[in-house]
Structures are given as C-alpha cells and as structure tokens.
Amino acid sequence: MTPKDAEYYQVKNGDRIKVEVSGEHGVIYKEAVIRVSQKSKLAFHLDTDEANAANAKGTSLA
C-alpha cells in the first residue's frame, strides 16, 4: 500500500494484520504483513495454494 493508504488505515510497514477473504470457503489469514511503498498499491496477494484453500477468485473480497 502507499504511505497515504497506511496513514488512512493507521498501519505501518511490517505491521501484521488479520485479513478475511470472502468466498465459498472463507478464510482468515492471521499474520498478513503490511508492505508500504510509494511504488505499491492497495492489494492483498495470495499464492496459488492459499487461493485454492480459500477457493478465492480474482473477484473475491478481502
């Protein structure tokens, strides 16, 4: 996320948060790491195994 996003959500680089991914098999990730950079955008990235476990699609909400 950008520094502006981090300020809005009151988090900083390296913070760990819980993220709930919606879907048929909703999943809560308890230790998602915040990355802050001017070159970033607000997004949550899953690897293939994590996405499959949640049955997440490109349109799933987090």
E-only strand ranges, the chain: 16-21, 27-33
Task: State the CB neighbour count (10 A cutoff) for residue 21.
Answer: 20
Query: Is pLDDT at 60 greater than 70 in this prediction?
Result: no
Share of the chain above pLDDT 90, in %: 48
Say which residue the tokens 């948060």 belong to: 17
Overall pTM > 0.85:
no
Give residue 36's pLDDT. 97
What pLDDT is attached to residue 47? Answer: 82
Average pLDDT over residues 17-23: 86
pLDDT at 58 over 90: no
